[in-house]
Structure 1
Amino acid sequence: MNFAKTRFSIGNLVLMLLIFLFIAVLAFAVSLLKNQSAAEERFIESFRQTHDNLVSVSMMLENQINTVYYQLTLDYTLKEWLVQPKPTISNMAMLGEIQNNSLKIISSNPLVLSVYIYSKGSSTVLATNHEFTSLEQFPDKELFTQFNEKNGHWIGKRPEKAGYGNPKDILTFVAPLGDNGLVAINVDERKLFAATPDASYGMMLVGKNGGVLTTREGAEVNMDTLQPERLLDAKDSSNQPIEAANQYVLVSDHTSGEWTFISVTPQIKLSPAWKQRQIELVCASALLAGLAVWIYALARRIYFQPIRKLETHYNKNLEDLKHHFTLNVLTGKLKESDIRDKLAELSFRFPSDRWIVVLFQIDNFYNYLLSMKQDDRFFMDKTIYNAIKWTFMTTYSSYPAKTELEKVSILISVPEGTDESTMLQKLEQTICYLQKEIEDNCSLTVCAGISRVHESLNHAHTAYHEALKAVSFKAIYGKRSIIRYVDVAAAGKTDEITPQSADIDKLCSPLKEGKHIEFEANLRSMLQGLLREERFSIDRVNAFFSNVLYGIVKVTLEHRLELADILHEDVFMKMYSHEFVQDKTEYVIRTASAVSTHIMTTRSSHNKTVRLVLDYIDAHFDEPISLTTISETLGINSSYISTLMKQELGHGFVEHLNQLRIKKALELLENPNLAIKTVSEMCGYDTVHSFIRNFKKLHLFTPSEYRSKILAKR
């Protein structure tokens, strides 16, 4: 007891430690989840702010370019130069002034790299980073020759062709200067994206026609997988990042619709810190799962299993108590007051106080269980009992009891107003179903007895004995029968007179002529007449079959035959060993058929020679005799006599001679005045030793012992 308490205390301590560890790990996991969620929110907010800052820079640039463009459109000198048809000396002065104004614009706007002015009238181009030249000689003439719009537009990233030194990547804004010229303002693309945060950030500038003007991507950003037209369609008005190709994407555009700015950064889930937190979360989850299993297993062992065992023990005891109560009610061991108290105590509820008992008897069940292993015996016994139990309990208001190893009784409450014949028919259908199931699955036959309906539970024991008596008639009704007590209630109350000896002789008479089929028909007719009578018993049926067997024995004796020689068994013991009337009937018919066949065979095989030899032996068996003596006396070959006797009698000359001599010795030994030696000489033996040996061979004891037994019986 102290050891159990110690184990319980240690178990509690370990359980508390596991719970504490589980709470600590859970708190750590929750903290990780919160940090992860907060980190994701911070990352998205930082990305949004960076995007907004860059959008602001791009808006300022676009506004600056627009300002420069408006300044140029308002320049009076530029307008006057544009309307000049040909270059002149006075035009050169204008060009110097225009050049100076353009340079001032460039110096005041660091992002502006150069300005190109094209005059349609003179077909010349003035570039701040290139000499004054004709359109045909200008390196970027395509800017002006391919322009056909009323308003200006942006041209995407490309290297600058005009100018001196190393060419730079530029973005160009081309717009008309009235009807007489065009202007191209070039922006340094490198300076435009100088504010790109780091390698984990990418940007894309898209024009109003959807074309990509320029991109800038860090080492961790893949801009090639993005499709600007889909991103523009998927733009979120709530300014929330779009998830595309494992990247966050933000899309913003100006109110004027000139530029659309797209920012890209890898999702935080791809970052090493995020992956590390994921690994920690997985480890924490696995640890939590393991701890939960340990806690559950330990708690179940310490608390749940004892409670469950207690419940199981209680339910099992309750079932046992109900079983014993039902058994005691059926066997009549409880008084009426005790029955009422037990019904209330065990919470029995039945719809009425009308009762009927069904008794199942499983044939050869003991031997069936004995052929199994010990564990299988208990399992099979329980399985068959539960099959019967639950079939009835789910269909009727009933409760079973195992009254004997091979017997299961069902106490059934018959509802008020239920027709008794209808109830019996329903019961028989249920019984037939169970009989078939048990026979199909276990190869066991089941007989059932049904009592009458009784009006009180106090008479349940009477109903049980009625069902028991009904089952006792299965030898007559058959091993698969369903027997109602009302059908056998009067059986066995009187001793009827068995058929007369003359009737038996008449029944067996056809056997003498080999008509065993006629015998079978007459036997079955007499048996049916016996069973149709109102009063009959098992003993009367057995007596009938015994008389028939005596009649068959009488027929064999009339033909000088021994029934034991024909069948080599005790026919009476064999008949009584069969339990059922049908089996007894079949055995008697087989016996009669064998006797009839043997008589006809013997009759057809006997001839004059055999008869002559047997008659001579019968007359001289108590004298010194041999095959040689018979051969010389009758003039028949001795070998032929020996062979013929074995064929006709089934044994040889010596054995036949000994049977006749010992048969005579049995009669002589009943006379106590005759000595054993005298009996030996009277039976034809040369020596007493030979007589004793042959006598013991046939009867298993000596002549003296046989005489002592005969005298003792007297």
Structure 2
Amino acid sequence: MNVYKYKAKLIFSNIKTRLILILTLVICLAIALVGTVMYSLARHSLLEEIKVPHQQMVTFVRDDVDRKMNDIMTTSIYAVLDPLTIDFLRYDNHKSMDTILGVVSMLDTLTQNSSIIDSIYIYDEKNRHVVGSSPFGFNSSIETFGDKGWLSQLSLAEQDANNVTFAKRMKDQGEMISFIKRIYEDNKISGYLIINLKSSKLFSQIIPEGSTNNEAVRIIQDSKGETLFSIGENKKEQVNPNKYFITRLTSTSTQWNYVYAVPQKQIFGKLYWIRTMTFVVSAVTMLIGMLIIFQVNRITFRPIERLIKTVRSHRNEALEVDFTQLESYVGRLLTQLTFLHGSNKELKAKFIQDMVYGRLRRKEFDRKWRLLYSEWRPDLPVYAVIVSVDAYYNWLNGYKQDDQLLLKFAVGNIFEEILGESFRVQFEDLTQDRSALIVQPLSSDMDLQMLYDKLSNGIEIAEKLLKISLSVGVAESLYPTSGDLSSRYKQAEVLLLDRLYMGYKKLHVPEQALPYSEAQGPGSKNETMHEIVQGIKEGKTEYTNNILEKIRMEWETSNAKPLHVYRWYSNVIKEMITKFRDPEDEQFQEIMDSLDSLQTLTFSDLHQMTLDEATYLAEEVKKRKPTKHENYFRKMVEYIQEHYPENIGVSHVAEAGSISQSQANVLFKQETGTSIYDYITQVRIEKAEELLKNTNLKVIEISEKVGYASENSFIRNFKKIKGITPGKFKE
């Protein structure tokens, strides 16, 4: 023992040995500490990224069940309020075959009208009679009724503060939800309505078709926390927040809780492995450092080089490591950790988005391509494909947001299914009308025409099954290791601009790209736009339409680039609505929003949209433009308002309007319902009323100021109109 102590003391007395030990400890702690921090950050980031799709899935299930339960509630109200139900419970008609058959028929109808309802019973608590939909029918005693599983739940229904109770039970070796509703008569319970619901139908959306996530736990609980339906481990103690990532929503309609829990080990599988390997590297580093100290302490810093060589077996091929510095290796290892924090599918989606929008530098693109697409062959080309919804703004207004997401998801499934037999493919939904595909043939003998045929087939199937009109742009092939794939997506988007002339539901490929001239088009001149605006301003609908028609022909004959056409029409529409529509108007904002999707329109639809807006605005201006009679009337009213203190009559007013006295009287009668004389009197009395309220003038002074030569005449007219004399009004 003394020998070992002496050897150890001798070894550690060497300053070089102590330096090696310190370096080893620092490196081990650095790897462990940074690995722990990066693991925590990556874990948090991944949870944030998967929260949204999980929330959307649970919301979709909840909304589907709420809609079905609203239908069931409507059915229950119909059944309770049906006269046959009231007769069955209120009167002693149980022996009447007509009443019984009527109730059974009504229940059968309600049952058959819903795929969710298994059966419906009405239970007379006083007489213990029960009648149900076929095949149960009427039983004079509950004891002989074929299904009594719900009977034990009635005591709970009586205690429930709500008028409705839900109970999970078994029937015919299958799960069922019994909807129990109390029926009152004179504020007393006279019976119960029991609607038995098929759990598999009611909760059909809780397992999306094609789902492979068998380890996920899906639970639906009632307001008391009792489980109504579950898939996976449904024991509460097993849905441990420390072991599961839980998404929970509560329905405001039924107060049911919807729980979706995914095992953390399923989400963090790769992350756990990287974390473990980080600590393994740290432990191995420590172990080797100790071995170096005790085995080769005579060599100064050469053990560090040997330490680096031992780490070589843990190196990822995607990292180009300079093994002269261990710190550099650790830094690159942790950068790798940060990138691999999410699932492979989510990382690929983010990668495609960054690539389409040109957010990746060349070096970063190469590194991520090798990591994410290691199974794709480097010796085969890939194709960048853009899928666009035709007339996107019209399509957007035709569906709810949830339906839009489902339809785009279905489009992706269609293309992946069609291309999957012969190509590697990934589909990713982008913003607005566009989605991106990245495609690679499985073998070198794949014909390019096969890709074109399958994409055309996808367009046809989407139209047939989903009623969605799509256009697809395909760029030239590219070997990702030798070119910039972002530029190919830009090429696909440029090819899609041919939709302007070629129409909807077309495949746009480089071999069939349309040739364009460099002409800007005669319609691009500012004076032409000014003529359109001026025509609308003057209410000249036909004049404005003729200008637009002339411009349409000029654009078509000039064969101008689509971008020039889209830009010109966008500027025209924006100019028209900003000058002639109210920014607070709902239509104003809708049209402004539609300008972002003009590039999804054909030339005919684009021109028609502009023509419709110009026609509408010109007609609106024409409606607001005053007529000749309105001008006459306006002049006469202005004359009366200005000269009422003077001794004016019908002749003076008619002269001010430049029309005859008879025409003036007829026009005033049409516009005001009174004669000119009565209108003058009304104006004078209103002015006198203001003077009585706001001044200390005497009545005789006010009568003179409003045009009356006689005080008595003023007082008589004032009382006739206001119902009170001026003197009393002033008091």
Task: Provide TM-score, normalisation by structure 1.
Answer: 0.34
Q: Greater CA radius of gyration, 1 or 2?
A: 1
Instruction: Report which structure shows greater RCO (CA 8 Å, sep ≥6).
Output: 2
